[in-house]
Amino acid sequence: MSMAKQTAGSRKGKKPLRHFIPFYLMALPGIVYLFINNYMPLPGIVLAFKKYNARLGIWGSHWVGFSNFKFLFATNDAFVITRNTLGYNLAFIVVNTVFAVGVAILLADMRHRIKRFYQSVILLPYMISMVIVSYLVFAFLSTENGFINNSVLLHLGMEPVAWYMEPAFWPLILILVNLWKVLGYNCIVYLSAILSFDKGYYEAAAMDGATKWQQIRMITLPLLKPVVTMMTLLAIGRIFYSDFGLFYQVPQNSGALFSVTNTIDTYVYRGLLELGDFTLSAAAGLYQSVVGFILVLVTNLLVRKLDPASSLF
Amino acid sequence: MTMLTKEDRIYQCVSHVVMMILSLNVIIPMALLVISSFTDNDTLIRNGYAFFPENLSIYAYQYIFRTGNAVLRAYGVSLLLTAVGTALSLAVTIPLAYALSRPGLPAKRLLTFYVFFTVLFNGSLVPTYMNYTNVIGIKNSFWALLIPGLVTNGFYILLAKSYFSASVPGEILEAAEIDGASACQTFLRIAIPLAKPIVTTVGLFAAIGYWNDWQNGYIYLTKRADLYSIQNLLNRMIQNIQYLSQNVSNIRDADVGLAAIPSVSIRMAMAVVGILPILVLYPFLQSNFAKGITLGGVKG
Amino acid sequence: MKKFLSVLLSIVLLSSLLCTAAGASELAPAEQVIAERKAAAQASGEYDKVVFAFHSWSGQPAGTARVQEKINERLRETLGLEVELLILDAASYAQNVRLMLSSGEQIDIFNSNLLGYTTCVNDGYCLDLEENNLIQTYGQGILEAIHPDYLTASRIDNVLYGLPQLRDMAMGPGAYCIGQEYLDGIGFDYDSMYEDPDNKDIIYTDYDTIETIFAQLHEKYPDKYVFAPGDNLITAGSIIDNVGGDNFGVLLDPVNSLTVENLFTSDAFKAYCQRVHDWYLKGYISKDAITDDTALSAKVKSGRYMAMMAQAKPSYNTQISGECGRPMIVFQVEPDIMKSESITIMLWHLNQGCEDPVAAIQVLNAFYSDPVVSNLLIWGEENVDYVVLEDGHITFPQGVDSTNAEYYHTMNWLLPNQFIAHIWENDPLDLWDRMVRFNDEAVKSKALGFTFDNSAYASEFSALTNIYNEYAKQLLFGFIDPETGIAEMQAKLEAAGLNTYIAAKQEALNAWAEANGIQ
């Protein structure tokens, strides 16, 4: 096992195991917690392959192979829900990252004390539940009383739009709503990263006559690369999941919009609401985890080839 | 650089304009939220949400604060939970991340994978529930709010680990060791102060996670209404309303149930009640956040 | 000698046979069990506990602990037991109960409303109540209280897994409730339309009358919406029986036929959708109806909407008037009917993992037959949660109302026996008699009691449900033209396996009919 020898830094020969004991002790609470919280329930994954009966319990219930997964694929909606989930998540990754990084750069450089106010304010949406957000969206998009129809379109002389019946607008609406909700939260990581960069670089660059934009392009962005890559990799791991509140509550569960708002999670929820079968939802969850996991592994390998410092592991 | 160049000024100006727009984007809907919580319920149903409603009423808040101090107690639970939870989360996450970032640690790859795996895989609801209820036995207790899923997760750990690797130079730590400091002293006296930004960030994430969480209470608190956090209380009501309204045709008397649950204005009021402490406390926490980050940026 | 021995042998054999026969009914009589339990409790100072779970619309009422203690005072005396009331939120009920049942926590008695009867039986949660003569020995009160037909309807494969409560089993479909003030405003004479001048609950009429009224209402009150639609158009608005609990394969003529047909290609469905669509086009319905989740009665209460449709029962006008905050007149346009699911939709079960089924069934028996505990369970503590009026009605005490009451969950129709409990003011004192008559006189679906186990068709069902969710509201609220909308939906449903599903349901129904001797 020569892994230890591969790590960067000044290595002066192999250190004895004894040397690392304090570190293992430091790591212990976390390791134990992850074991209890994540690894102990893992054997329950077998539920995805069984037909559950309370009399037999989890272990006694019968195996049914992959038939619990059928409902995810044996449907014409399978393409739509997969496309929607993937499509939105890719859009979210790009849009959210660009805006979060942008805002973080602006805030980092801001001198006035009001920047604290800005940062607090944009964090607020993250603290209210998506259901309340759906009511606020409704206040804007309601056909009869909505702000857009009544105040904006009316004054522009346009006809009111039945927003909840027209799928065409919703990809944009959902991306904007999602951005609104997570922007403040997402920029925390980037902001704290930027603030920790050595100011010396910027001073040197400024003395050399670099413009603000050049400084951002040459210093900030490259230094941010590892963080952005890591956040993106983690987002890729969740690429088959979706925010239930965003895709179910915000469109007010309107059937006319399903073609653009039905994701794997909402499909599973709707289908299983009356069936009440948790083996099916366990199967769906497993499917989402496995796909995400494979994608992250693959992407991480790619990243490791291109820029080893940025890879997750 | 103390003199503001023209370019600097333009840049600051643009920054302010952009941030002002983004802030207004938040303030306006929030204002609508607050106004609707003060609007008479029937008016809300009749005319929809408006910035200048016909009839105002404080009934929603009367209802909330009248129902047996449940709200005040829920605030207390939320605050306690967030404080304890954040401390616990930091105590577990930061040392682990630090340990994982040490070069030469045997089985480092394995341990990192062990952590990483948990980001993407966990048992579904039923096995997790059985684990915590039957094996660990924390159902219907304060621990049920504190422990499941929130103490730490692979994401925080990896984030902190990458920060330690990138920004806390190995040389300084080795120098300390050569000077005779123990691993523990090195960690506490040197590494942590240098890592203030990430400690603050993880702390903030943990605090937000604990404050926002309502799922744990929803699943694990069936007999302890006195342990509901404020978000749990709010979301319970909203989930009931959503569930009933979306299943009106299936559930008998669902309409009666919907009519019985406090309605629109009260939901708005509960949302306001839910963010109020944040609005009040965050500016104070914020200054510590900024201090923590900027101080940490100073390198020797 | 030989003869003597053989006689002796036969006597010995006979007596041992008799002994074992007596021992076969292993269950001791109820009184003995209770006496033993009480003695044990006296000795140890602790009583055995039975957990009784059900849901309410807003979770556990504040006064639950107090009421529970009062119930226990009575139960300790009569049964030597205590009960724990586990009242959960409606939205989390299914999840909480399922988790408790699968993880082996103590939950002895639960209701399968929101969970699904067939699902519970399939997943093995329910105890066979006749196992070892459990209910016959300890639940005589239950067997006496429940109508034998309803008990039969509650069986699956002839096993009794659940018990229905005493309530209105039948329903009065198509009950259009219109605000009285608006009818007065258009000068409509509804008073003369009551069949029985002494019973002014419901007016029985037809769709033409409703159309006339709506047209006049729309003209007189152009700034109000005439009708608040709901997706209960077929389930509460017609006699079409959605056998098996879903809309995929229904009985269009449940009183006369056992043929499971496709609801969506039927003329009846088109007619219903067309009518609502007409109303939408005429402007009776708000364009926001499809996204607004406010309760129908709350909409009427706000004063912006004038009418809504629901399902009626005896004294329904009192109930709906209370909900809508104004006097309402109820016009019912379809005949009273008891649909196949009426009985099995919310049964009471014993957990098959229950440690002491005898104790559980005895507690359940008490709720079915003992007015003291039934009143406590349903209405709370006398003089604290309610007061008894001179004429026998009950109402809130001074200073208490529905917003600050500590124990007012309105779940009386879910609980075992409301017929032996008090009657709230404004409801007629002979309400229970009226309900029994209502149940008896309603026409009954031929498939009464049929339940469909669709676990083998989970894929089809989830696909069908998603498609249905996509189109249903738009059609049932009248937002899209049925001509094109239904065709589109039908095409997708067929592609998702609708016909397979219907065929399977028909097969199950035929098997059930044969087993139960129904033509």
Mean pLDDT per 10-residue run, chain B (300 residues)? 70 91 92 88 80 83 73 89 94 92 86 88 84 91 91 87 80 79 81 84 90 89 88 83 71 69 76 80 67 47
User: What is the pLDDT at residue C14?
Assistant: 52
Task: Please tell me the distance from the alpha carbon of residue C505 to that of residue C249, in angstroms, as a whole number.
Answer: 7
Q: How far apart are CA B220 and CA B212, in angstroms?
A: 16
How far apart CA C116 and CA A276 sit, in angstroms, is 8
Touching B (3+ Cβ pairs <8 A), the chains are: A, C
Residue count of chain C? 519
Show Cβ contacts of residue A109 under 8 Å, excluding neighbours closer than 6 positions: B11, B12, B15
- In angstroms, how far is CA C294 from the centroid of its own chain? 22
Distinct helix (H) and strand (E) counts, chain B: 16, 0
Distance from CA of A92 to the nearest CA of C (A): 25
Cβ contacts below 8 Å, chain B against chain C, sum to 129
Could you count the other beta carbons within 10 Å of the beta carbon of residue B68?
13
- The closest CB to that of B212, out of A44, A127, A234, belongs to A127
Q: Which residues of C touch A53 (CB under 8 A)?
A: 122-124
Q: How far apart are CA C421 and CA C439, in angstroms?
A: 19
Report the distance separating Cα A206 and Cα B4, nearest Å. Answer: 12
**Which residues have C-beta within 8 Å of that of residue C333, sequence separation ≥ 6?**
C173, C174, C175, C176, C204, C205, C206, C207, C209, C210
- Subunit contact B105:A206, Cβ cutoff 8 A: no
Query: Distance, in angstroms, between A273 CA and closest chain C CA?
Result: 9
Question: Do A76 and C119 count as a contact with CB atoms less than 8 A apart?
Answer: no
Name residue, tokens 């134990």.
Answer: A32
A131 and B279 within 8 Å at the Cβ level: the answer is no
Tell me what pLDDT residue B50 has.
80
Every domain range in chain C assigned CATH 3.40.190.10: 27-166+340-453, 172-338
Q: Do C90 and B252 touch (CB under 8 A)?
A: no
Long-range residue pairs from B144-148, CB within 8 A, at least 24 positions apart, any chain: B144/B216, B144/B217, B144/B220, B144/B221, B145/B77, B145/B81, B145/B213, B145/B216, B145/B217, B145/B220, B145/B221, B145/B227, B145/B229, B146/B81, B146/B84, B146/B85, B146/B88, B147/A37, B148/A37, B148/B216, B148/B220
Q: B2-8 long-range contacts, Cβ below 8 Å, gap at least 24? A: B7/A211, B7/A212, B8/A212
Question: How many residue pairs bridge chain A and chain C with CB atoms within 8 Å of each other?
Answer: 112
**Residue C98 contacts by C-beta under 8 Å, 6 or more apart in sequence?**
A276, A278, C115, C123
Q: Is C119 on the interface with B (CB under 8 A)?
A: no
Q: Kindly state whether C103 is in contact with chain B, defined as any CB-CB distance less than 8 angstroms.
A: yes
If you measure CA to CA, which chain C residue comes closest to B68?
C62
Provide the percentage of residues in chain B whose pLDDT is more than 70: 86
Interface of A with B in 190-249 (CB under 8 A): 191-193, 195-200, 203, 206, 211-212, 226-227, 230, 234, 237-238, 249
Tokens 């939320």 sit on residue: B78
Task: Render pLDDT for C14-36 as a digit per residue (tens, 0 to 9).
Answer: 554 444 444 444 678 888 888 88
Question: Cβ separation of A139 and B294 shorter than 8 Å?
Answer: no
Task: Check if B35 contacts A (Cβ < 8 Å).
Answer: no
Q: Are A122 and B26 a contacting pair at CB < 8 A? A: yes
For A132, which of B102, B151, B271 is closest by C-beta distance? B271
Q: Does A251 touch chain B (CB under 8 A)?
A: no
Gap between the Cα atoms of C377 and C64, Å rounded: 9
CB pairs under 8 A between A and B: 296
Furthest-apart CA atoms within chain B: distance in Å: 75
Nearest CA-CA partner of C301 in C228, C200, C400: C228
- A145 to chain C, minimum CA–CA distance in Å? 9
Contacts of C91 in chain B (CB under 8 A): 236, 239-240, 242-244
- Give the phi and the psi of residue A208 in degrees, each rounded to 5: -80, 0
The answer to whether the Cβ–Cβ distance between B252 and C91 falls below 8 Å is: no
- d(C-alpha C305, C-alpha A60), whole Å: 55
Contacts of A230 in chain B (CB under 8 A): 158-159, 162
Tokens found for residue C424: 């709230």
Asked if C403 lies within 8 A of B125 by C-beta distance, the reply is no
Chain B, nearest residue to C84 by Cα: B223
Nearest CA in chain A to B235: A129
Contact state of A120 with B16 under an 8 Å Cβ cutoff:
no
Give C186's DSSP letter: T
Burial class (CB in 10 A: 0-12, 13-18, 19+), C2: exposed
Contact B48 A144 (CB under 8 A): yes
* CA diameter of chain C: 109
- CB under 8 Å to C150, separation ≥6 — which residues? C164, C169, C343
Search chain B and give the residue with CA nearest A26.
Answer: B95
CA distances from A14 to A6, A7, A18, B140 (A): 11, 11, 11, 50
Half-sphere exposure of A21 (CA within 13 A, CB side): 5
Interface contact flag, A270 C462, Cβ < 8 Å:
yes
Q: Which residues pair with residue C431 across a beta bridge?
A: none
**CB-based contacts of C153, cutoff 8 Å, min separation 6:** C164, C343, C344, C448, C449
**Tokens 């006749």 belong to residue:** C130
Confidence label for A14 from pLDDT (cuts 50, 70 and 90): low
Domain coordinates in residue numbering, chain B: 69-261
* B123 interface with A at CB cutoff 8 Å: yes
A276/C287 CB distance under 8 A: no
User: Which token pair is B209?
Assistant: 């996670």
A88: CB partners within 8 A, 6+ apart: A171, A174, A175, A242, A247, A263
DSSP states of C104-150: T----EEE-TTT-HHHHHHTT-B--TTGGGHHHHH-HHHHHHS-HHH
Candidate from A164, A165, A270 with C-beta closest to C465: A270
Residues 6+ apart with CB under 8 A from A249: A130, A131, A133, A134, B242
CA-nearest residue of chain B to C85?
B223
Mean local confidence (pLDDT), A217-225 = 88
Q: Which two tokens stand for residue C263?
A: 């609801």
CB neighbour list of residue A93: distance below 8 Å, 6 or more residues apart: A232, A235, A236
Handedness of CA B235, C378, B244, C303 (dihedral sign): negative
Asked whether the beta carbons of residue C295 and residue B255 sit closer than 8 angstroms, the reply is: yes
C71: nearest Cα among C278, C304, C372, C296: C372
Q: A293 to chain C nearest CA, in Å?
A: 25
Chain B environment of C295 (Cβ under 8 Å): 244-245, 255, 258-259, 263
Find the distance separating the first CA and the last CA of chain A, reported in whole Å: 17
Identify the DSSP state of B179: T
CATH number of C172-338: 3.40.190.10
Contact C166, C417 (CB under 8 A): yes
Helices B108-120 and A278-306: crossing angle in degrees, nearest 10, is: 140
DSSP-assigned letter for residue C310: E
The CATH fold of domain B69-261: MetI-like fold (1.10.3720)
**Which segments in chain C show pLDDT lower than 70?**
1-2, 4-26
* Cβ of residue A294 closer than 8 Å to a chain B Cβ: no
Closest by CA to C241, choosing from C116, C160, C344, C118, is C344
CB-closest option in A77, A268, A276 to C116: A276
Is the CB of A54 less than 8 angstroms away from the CB of C495? Answer: no
Contact criterion met (CB < 8 Å) for B130 and C102: yes
C518: which 2 tokens?
């129904």
Residue A6 in this model has a pLDDT that exceeds 50:
no
* Chain A: residue whose CA lies nearest to B277: A127
Angstroms from C481 CA to nearest CA on chain A: 13
Q: Is it true that domain C27-166+340-453 has CATH number 3.30.470.20?
A: no
What domains, with CATH codes, occur in chain A? 61-310 (1.10.3720.10)
Say if residues C169 and C345 touch (Cβ distance below 8 Å). no
Is the minimum CB–CB distance between C404 and chain B shorter than 8 Å? yes
Residue among C286, C291, C459 minimizing CB distance to A254: C291
Best of C54, C302, C342, C415 to disrupt the B interface (most B CBs within 10 Å) is C302
Would you state the pLDDT for residue B1? Answer: 46
Distance (Å, rounded) from C-alpha A231 to C-alpha A240?
16
Contacts of C323 in chain B (CB under 8 A): 255-256, 259
Task: List all residues of chain A from 72 to 131 with a beta carbon under 8 Å from chain B.
Answer: 103, 106-107, 109-112, 114-129, 131
- Which of B240, B205, B233, B206 minimizes the C-alpha distance to B217? B233
